[in-house]
Amino acid sequence: MPYITMLRLFSLIFMLFSMAAGAVDFTPSAERRVSEPLTIHFGKVDAAQLSSTLGINERESQSIAEVLSSQAPELKNESYQWATVTLDMLVSEGRNYIAFGFARLPWLSIALVNNGEVSFLTQYTLNTPFNIREVEAPQLYLPISKEHLEGASLIVRYQTFANAPADLRLINDNELNSNILTSTVINAALSGIIAAVFVIVLVNFYFNTNATNAYYCLWTLLFLLIVLDMSGFTFQYFWPSQGKFATLFSACLMTFVPVFHLLFIKKFLQLKHRNETLHLLYNGFLTAYLLLIPVAIYSKSVHYNLILSLSIIPLFLYTSYWSLKQSAPGSVTFSLSLLNHVIFVNFIAIGGTMYAGFINVHHISSAIKFGYLIEVMLFTLALAQQNKSAQNNLLSTLQTQVNALSNTVQTEKQFNRQNQQALEKKEHRLFTDLSHELRTPLTVMKVQVESLQYNIVENVQESYGKLMDKIDELNHFINQLMLVTDNEKLATMLNLRDFTICKLVNQVHTQAATLFKNNKEQLEVNYQISGTEKIIIDLDAITNCVLEILGNAIKHGGDKIQVKMSFFSVDSNLIIRIEDSGTPLSYEAHQQLFDPLYKSQSARTNSGKSKGMGLAMCKKVVEAHSGQIESFNSLLGGLNMEIKLPLTKTPAFS
């Protein structure tokens, strides 16, 4: 899939530039194309070469070379190139032009040699403004007329940035107009494409702010500026009178581009987490590039940066191979983009610049522009694939979370429905038990009243006494019911005071012993406390809770019931554990044991005066002391009731 995408990108680029070239087809026909490349010499002007080229004697050529050496080049550490122009080299009868293939040169000197005399016609330096050019075009052109060369010759000396070979040619008026228009339209179209990509990258950075997108955004911006700078647009339109600044700007672009390029590669491939060796190697090259920035700015040359860019080729090739093997989204496309960078930028452009004459300067410029354009598009595609994968993962995660939330809502609805049903069932049972508990004494009272009404009782006072007992029983039952449902009222009725645990244990033990006075062996009491800890309780209320539990054990456990009562402290809590050897309860019975009016099946069979309010009252009293009461089945065979009371906390309903 990435290979098909790459072919489509190449096809798109080819179509765009074909359309641009077709729209501005002002190139002269084959008969009218008369440009001729000039022979370029590298290094200082050699007297022997000069003598051979101009056809003069060696003494005269030596004298000319000495005069020329008085005009030193602008960049001291860089060599220069030179060529000669004679009358027979002119390509047309009209005006001729020297085309350099560069938008700007750091140094240019044109000398006229006539009968051994040297005169300097043109002198360009780093400070030369744009507006002194005779041809106002983004690229550098110098006019030459036949009158200058009647019996004379021109010696053209110049320096290029990083000593790149110039595409030195003689052209006529037709080719000049065609070259200016074609290069302007193509460079403008190329800049427009890159600007559009930059806008897309910028929008992506706005919505996905992270280091990867930030580095890519800066790198794309620098590439756009490089295209504008190599096309000559920046010098012509932005700072035409600041030649030195234009040179500094170009040097900064060339030195900062590889820095953000490496930062983007590191972040996109996540080398810090996925390949520690590559991460360290990229950090080393990053450090080297950063150290060379001040060197390039001071020397106005990127020579050492280019050497470093050649040395990084093996690292890029291995990174491309490593990325190709990864299964991460966009890694294959990213691998192709790095391979493209090595071919077009490192090998053709930088290699052609470093080794003069290896590749024509026009091809070097095109390689940089097209190579970077393809790389930008591939990088953008790789980022899009990565972002799409991240979005798919996000959507999948969100879908999972939505499904989980939906399941949670359904579970919660079901749970609430079950709770509602349980509550309704509990209310129904409560009202049923309440009506039963009220109907029984009311029925007895009705019988007593009817007996008195029809004078069928033998002892009237005894009947009135039974009525009063039933009324008191109902009144006590209703009071208990009110206390169970009113926490605030229960809290106000408690007499909370400071006691030692020993005081509580002694009182509980003393009163419990009265319940087992006929058979003291049935009660076993254990103490695992120091007795000095303090506790804030209503002593009588807690004692009654323990007695209620013991009474239930005796009532439902039979004559041979065995009871074990233990007192111990755990985590600043007093634990009162009461176990019996009676009958165990089911899970459902344990869940309802402390509900008001609840009675076990055995209690219903042998109800007596029990109304199922005892344990409910115990639970409320214990909770009013910030405590807990729980029930389990005991190892003794019956129930295990545990009361937990805090030794330091304040009551819950105070």
Are residue 276 and residue 185 in the same domain, yes or no?
yes
Residues 155 and 208 reside in one and the same domain = no
| Residue 633: Cβ-neighbour burial (10 angstroms; 0-12, 13-18, 19+) | middle
Token pair, residue 71, equals 């005009």
pLDDT digits (tens, 9 = 90+) for 29-56: 433 445 668 888 888 888 888 888 777 8
pLDDT at 433: 62
Q: Among the three residues 485, 516, 537, which one is the final residue of a domain in this structure?
A: 485
pLDDT at 282: 93
Dump pLDDT digits (tens) for 57-73. 888 888 888 888 888 77
**Residue 1 falls inside a structural domain:** no
Same domain, 496 and 465: no
Q: Which two tokens stand for residue 600?
A: 């076990």
Predicted pLDDT at 283: 93
Shared domain for 375 and 507, answered yes or no, is no
Question: Which CATH number fits the domain that encloses residue 352?
Answer: 1.20.1070
Which pTM does this prediction carry?
0.56
* Whether 171 contacts 35, CB under 8 Å: yes
Q: What is the rounded distance in angstroms from the CA atom of residue 199 to the CA atom of residue 226?
A: 17
Range from 69-73, 219-223, 457-461 that averages highest in pLDDT? 219-223
Instruction: Kindly state whether residue 408 falls inside one of the protein's structural domains.
Output: no
Task: Work out the pLDDT band at 290, boundaries 50, 70, 90.
Answer: very high
User: What is the model's pLDDT at position 360?
Assistant: 55
Same domain flag for 476 and 500: no
Beta bridge partners of 574: 569, 645
Asked, for residue 55, whether it belongs to a domain, the answer is yes
Q: Residue 241: pLDDT above 80?
A: yes
pLDDT, mean over the chain: 79
What tens digit of pLDDT does each residue of 382-431 get?
A: 777 777 777 777 788 888 888 888 888 888 888 888 878 776 676 666 66
Last residue of a domain, one of 485, 505, 539: 485
* Number of structural domains the chain divides into: 4
Q: What is the pLDDT of residues 317-371, one digit of tens each?
A: 999 889 888 877 778 888 888 888 888 777 777 766 666 555 555 566 666 677 7
Shared domain for 340 and 283, answered yes or no, is yes
Q: Is residue 221 part of a domain?
A: yes
Query: Is the pLDDT confidence value at 508 over 80?
Result: yes
pLDDT > 90 in the chain, percent: 7
In a domain, 553, yes or no: yes
Kindly report, residue by residue over 129-184, the tens digit of the pLDDT. 888 888 888 888 988 887 777 778 888 988 887 677 777 888 888 888 888 888 88
CA 135, 136, 141, 142 dihedral sign is positive
Residue 17 exposure: Cα atoms within 13 Å on the Cβ side = 15
* pLDDT at position 600: 61
Cα–Cα distance between 640 and 563 in angstroms, integer? 10
What is the per-residue pLDDT for 616? Answer: 80
Identify whether 19 is part of a domain.
Answer: no
Q: CATH number of the domain that 83 lies in?
A: 2.60.40
511 and 640, same domain (yes or no): yes
With respect to residue 619, please indicate whether it lies within any of the assigned structural domains. yes
Q: What is the pLDDT of residue 168?
A: 84
Residue 4 has pLDDT above 60, yes or no: no
pLDDT at position 305 is 82
Identify whether the C-beta of residue 116 lies closer than 8 Å to the C-beta of residue 230.
no
Check pLDDT > 60 for residue 6.
Answer: no
Q: Are residues 477 and 350 in the same domain?
A: no
Query: Mean pLDDT, to the nearest integer, of 187-192?
Result: 85
pLDDT of residue 354: 60
Q: Is the pLDDT of residue 25 over 60?
A: no
pLDDT in tens, 418-451: 878 776 676 666 666 666 666 667 777 777 777 7
Q: Do 512 and 365 belong to one domain?
A: no
* Domain containing residue 131: 34-171
Same domain membership, residue 613 and residue 537? yes
pLDDT bin (cut points 50, 70, 90) of residue 285 is very high
Q: Which pLDDT tens digit goes with each residue over 612-640?
A: 677 888 888 888 888 999 998 988 888 99
Tell me what the mean pLDDT of segment 280-287 comes to: 94
| Percentage of the residues of the chain whose pLDDT score is greater than 70 | 81
What contacts 347, CB < 8 A, 6 or more positions away?
A: 313
Domain end call among 444, 463, 485: 485
Q: Say if residue 423 is in the same domain as residue 494.
A: no
pLDDT for 218 equals 92
3-class DSSP state of 241? coil
> Nearest-CA neighbor of 316 among 264, 272, 353?
264
Q: How far apart are CA 194 and CA 202, in angstroms?
A: 12
pLDDT tens-digit profile of 549-560?
A: 888 888 887 778
Say how many CA atoms lie within 13 Å of 324 toward its Cβ: 13
**Segment 250-268, tens digit of pLDDT:** 888 888 989 998 998 998 8
Residue 353 lies in a domain: yes
Strand partners, 171: 97
Which residue did the predictor score with more confidence, 603 or 148? 148
CATH number at residue 424: 1.10.287
C-alpha 206/C-alpha 38 separation (Å) is 51
Answer yes or no: do 190 and 136 share one domain: no
